[in-house]
């Protein structure tokens, strides 16, 4: 049976699976939500990943301004990090901690969103992200369990094995953490629009600026 005509003109409900994992696609999350809208909490997860990327990019942009003393609208050729700034992402927006002028923050968020959605995808990952710590802990725990099972149950061998496991985890974790950020915990915010920026407190009572975002369909 010749099915070429049918395949060419068909629209499968699983077409959204045919995307490039290495290149962010503007309609990727919107299509995913459209086809899997029956999954509870999916929109919140997708928003959280996009907000997470915007949080990182905003910290990068503010760090460029503070550390290089260049205009906020001029991209820096080298990423610099201001360790006095930090953030916390939610599915409604993110908190930005640290001394920052709200006008500078407003411009930084706008610029960060623009740069992310126009190809500067490296801004979505950050070395101080909690994802890196989580990856380090999981990797160290996994290697420790493996060492415990493979080596003889004698103190000397176990101590040597645990030392090797900790060293291996510390060497591998930074790169694995960045990979986890890029493909799991962040996504390019093609569907986010900045709503407003207010001074607020998080669930632990820490004060910071809260950047509220809303979901929009891709252009």
pLDDT in tens, the chain (219 residues): 433 333 334 444 444 344 445 688 899 999 999 999 899 999 999 999 999 999 999 999 999 866 544 444 444 445 677 788 999 999 999 999 999 999 999 999 999 999 999 999 999 999 999 998 888 888 888 877 776 777 667 777 777 777 877 788 788 888 899 999 999 999 999 999 999 999 999 989 999 999 999 999 865
What phi and psi values does residue 101 have, to the nearest 5 degrees?
-75, 135
pLDDT for the residue numbered 85: 94
Taking the C-alpha atoms of residue 20 and residue 13, their distance in angstroms, rounded to an integer, is 17
The β-bridge partners of 212 are: 93, 196
pLDDT for the residue numbered 57: 97
* Residue among 52, 84, 42, 92 at smallest CA distance from 67: 84
What phi and psi values does residue 89 have, to the nearest 5 degrees?
-95, 145
Taking the C-alpha atoms of residue 138 and residue 115, their distance in angstroms, rounded to an integer, is 32
pLDDT for the residue numbered 152: 67
pLDDT for the residue numbered 67: 55
């Amino acid at each position: 049976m010749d099915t070429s005509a049918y395949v060419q003109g068909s629209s499968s409900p699983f077409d959204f699976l045919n995307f490039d994992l290495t290149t962010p696609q503007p309609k990727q999350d919107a299509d995913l939500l459209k086809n899997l809208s029956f999954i509870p909490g999916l929109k919140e997860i997708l928003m959280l990943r996009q907000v997470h990327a915007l949080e990182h990019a905003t910290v990068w942009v503010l760090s460029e301004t503070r550390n290089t003393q260049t205009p906020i609208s001029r991209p820096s050729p080298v990423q610099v990090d201001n360790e006095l700034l930090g953030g916390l992402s939610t599915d409604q927006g993110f908190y930005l901690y640290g001394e920052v002028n709200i006008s500078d923050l407003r411009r930084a968020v706008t610029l960060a969103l623009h740069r992310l959605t126009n190809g500067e995808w490296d801004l979505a990952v950050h070395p101080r992200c909690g994802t890196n710590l989580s990856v380090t802990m999981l990797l160290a725990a996994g290697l420790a369990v493996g060492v415990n099972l493979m080596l003889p149950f004698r103190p000397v061998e176990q101590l040597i094995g645990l030392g090797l496991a900790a060293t291996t985890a510390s060497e591998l974790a930074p790169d694995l953490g960045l990979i986890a950020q890029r493909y799991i915990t962040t996504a390019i915010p093609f569907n986010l629009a900045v709503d407003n920026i207010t001074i607020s407190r998080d669930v632990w009572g820490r004060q910071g600026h809260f950047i509220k975002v809303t979901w929009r369909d891709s252009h």
